[in-house]
Homo-oligomer: A and B are copies of this chain.
């Protein structure tokens, strides 16, 4: 466990160079074309330089594919495997938007007028989630909620797993001490609840964060374990459970998933954070919510968040509240999970890759043959138009060895596998 807090360094993008390992003796025959050994030509190198510039500007998060596509038009981006979403759900949403809003010429109202306030949207959303509307807070994406919690509720000390989504420690107030529970590579980054509770007892944090499934490894804590943990964490003032990827985690019969959102009733210290950008693939409209004790929701609303949803986010939540949409979404969710698991299995069968167990829609991949993660990411991007990300900027992971690859639709998944296999030989 690391107790010292330092700000996560920006992504390190050294000038492109092929590692020495590439000419190692185990490389029996040169693949055709020899993607591994070839250096970038002038055009490719120019693209690389341009993207490096954008990466520097983006801080410790990757620039979006949207930024890349706009600012580096010479890059032919084909697959965004950096973006963690269900593309089938995006299709579903866009279909509804076209039929119900754009074609009947109702877009103007959504863009021109003030959207409804937080409470109004919460009242509509609560029934479909089976929750008390007073315990629902609507956010401009989950990130706004994370920021609000860290600034208003977290006090002296926060306990965060490592590796994790960096916002949970980057946006802590300067006076908050961040302590880490380091998940161990040799244990496949599995979360150990007993060891965790020992750390909690020793460190006495006022806030703990559990992302379930975790980002960037996809590790999952079973529902029964979560319930037990919530009991054991009774005395911790703030227990944040980020379920942004829970729709991809299945447990029990069929493809059902288990949320702890309704445990807020019994555990007033629990805060469940939910991004809609992952399961619905609508990151551009910024929609998320949190479930927490009604007193906490009231305190937030007394301090602002008046019109923090956009007209499109409100339409999304309207749609999400409808049983007919839920039914259609459920089909796309299961279809996507099936495809994703096929994709992860194919990744596991790819030589030179170690794929960690995941219940999310992405996999943490470790390179086994001395190839550098950064080199691979650049070549995948510039030569194959596939956008993935190294985990070189993720604390808790050895730099140079890890990639995070998101599952996309079936043809895209096949293209990723094909491209990886060509580059890994």
Contacts and interface: CB of A to CB of B under 8 A. Distances in A.
Interface of A: 57-59, 61, 63-67, 69, 80, 83, 85, 87, 90, 93-94, 97, 102, 107-117, 119-120, 123, 140-141, 143-144, 146-147, 150-151, 167, 171, 173, 277, 281-286, 303-313
Contact of A284 (B58, B112, B150): B112
Given A83-B113, A112-B284, A284-B114, A67 B310 contact: no
Nearest to A318: B70
A154 B39 CA distance: 55
Contact of A117 (B58, B146, B150): B58
Nearest to A119: B57
Given A114-B283, A151-B304, 13 more contacts: A57-B119, A59-B117, A61-B117, A80-B113, A111-B312, A115-B286, A143-B306, A144-B304, A147-B303, A151-B151, A151-B303, A284-B311, A286-B309
A57 B282 contact: no
> Lowest 7 CB-CB distances: which A-B pairs, in order?
A284-B311, A147-B304, A66-B113, A64-B114, A111-B284, A114-B283, A171-B304
A91 B147 CA distance: 35
A273 to B, nearest CB: 14
A57 B301 CA distance: 12
Q: What's the number of copies of this chain in the assembled complex?
A: 2
Given A64-B115, A109-B69, A114-B277, A307 B286 contact: yes
B64 A85 contact: no
A63 B115 CA distance: 9
B311 A115 contact: no
B140 A111 contact: no
A310 B281 contact: no
A148 to B, nearest CB: 9
Contact of A285 (B59, B66, B94, B111): B111
